[in-house]
């Protein structure tokens, strides 16, 4: 019997050696059914954003090559850029040694903005290094 | 009275506008007291690893410019590379719009290996795109 759309199945988790060295995709989702996803710009390598995916978002992203996430605040599937036109076109999707993180290399469509603030990347502030951060720390605009 | 070492204080969370647009460092830690950290290679831009930090790890990383994390499996502070010699020298530490993720740009010391498997990066496998992932998916070595 075909499975209902939206309930993708992946290979079950194997031994640590299988997870680390095998080529079977055996992702681990956390207690909330989510896996973290790092998104970088294909051209510049810059980290654009960080978000979470449920199994359906992973499956849709891999199949359609358009990044989908799970919005924890709205508690719904989130096709990033659906309203703004800044869809994220996925050139590569990797997983890590433990298969509990994904890394997407993307080209952002539309005007190339990834952050809801209007910035290209969500990571537009840096911490001053070499001193312990305190309640008075002032960050540096990038 | 000076605070005990290992209990750093950061600015309290402000309004959404302050968190997103202000320059005060107001990090959000999750229910376990942790914040996710993305680590990329300063030279290549490649994502090397993903790990978690508690407040102490954040403070030590920012102050010493050597990446520290919180090992969830060992439940202890983790000075990455302390045993292998592959310390991560932090050139830049950014936070995102919501201030609930950190991005470290690092140079890896020693033999330049970031992953406990011996790989330079933990992300050494990619998913085949354009088809839904299944239990039979075979990944691609990078």
Q: What does each of the 142 residues of chain B score in pLDDT, given as a tens digit?
A: 444 455 788 999 999 999 999 999 999 999 999 999 999 999 999 999 999 999 999 999 999 999 999 999 999 999 999 999 999 999 999 999 999 999 999 999 999 999 999 999 999 999 999 999 999 999 999 9
Q: What does each of the 142 residues of chain A score in pLDDT, given as a tens digit?
A: 444 455 788 999 999 999 999 999 999 999 999 999 999 999 999 999 999 999 999 999 999 999 999 999 999 999 999 999 999 999 999 999 999 999 999 999 999 999 999 999 999 999 999 999 999 999 999 9
Decide if A40 and B45 are in contact by the 8 Å CB cutoff: yes
CA distance B69 to chain A (A): 15
Q: Is the dihedral of CA B131, A69, A26, B41 positive or negative?
A: positive
Report the chain A residue with the minimal C-alpha distance to residue B49: A96
- Chain A residue numbers with beta carbons less than 8 Å from the beta carbon of B20 are 117
Q: Which of A93, A131, A142 to mutate to test the interface with B (most CBs of B within 10 A)?
A: A93
Question: Would you state the structure tokens that stand for residue A49, as one six-digit string?
Answer: 């954003």
Question: Would you state the structure tokens that stand for residue B107, as one six-digit string?
Answer: 């140079």
CA distance linking residue B67 with residue B49, whole number of Å? 12
> In angstroms, what CA-CA distances link A56 with A6, A96, A109, B68, B133?
5, 19, 22, 33, 10
Q: Which helix (H) or strand (E) holds A52?
A: strand A47-53
Decide if A23 and B138 are in contact by the 8 Å CB cutoff: yes
HSE-up of A91 (CA within 13 Å, CB side)? 11
Report the chain B residue with the minimal C-alpha distance to residue A104: B126
Report the chain A residue with the minimal C-alpha distance to residue B97: A122
CA distance B81 to chain A (A): 17
**Candidate from B59, B126, B132 with C-beta closest to A8:** B132
Interface ipTM > 0.85: yes
Beta-carbon pairs below 8 A across chains A and B: 177
Neighbouring C-beta atoms of residue B63, cutoff 10 Å? 15
């Amino acid at each position: 019997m075909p499975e209902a759309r939206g309930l993708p199945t992946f290979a079950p988790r194997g031994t640590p050696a299988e997870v680390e060295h095998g080529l079977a995709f055996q992702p681990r989702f956390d207690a909330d059914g989510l896996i973290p996803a790092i998104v970088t710009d294909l051209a510049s390598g810059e980290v654009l954003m960080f978000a979470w995916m449920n199994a359906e978002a992973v499956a849709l992203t891999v199949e359609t090559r358009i990044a989908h996430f799970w919005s924890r605040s709205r508690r719904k599937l989130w096709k990033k850029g659906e309203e703004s036109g800044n869809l994220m076109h996925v050139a590569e999707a990797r997983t890590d040694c433990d298969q509990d993180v994904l890394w997407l290399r993307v080209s952002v469509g539309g005007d190339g903005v990834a952050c809801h603030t209007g910035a290209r990347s969500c990571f537009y502030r840096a911490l001053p290094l070499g001193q312990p951060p305190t309640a008075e720390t002032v960050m540096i605009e990038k």
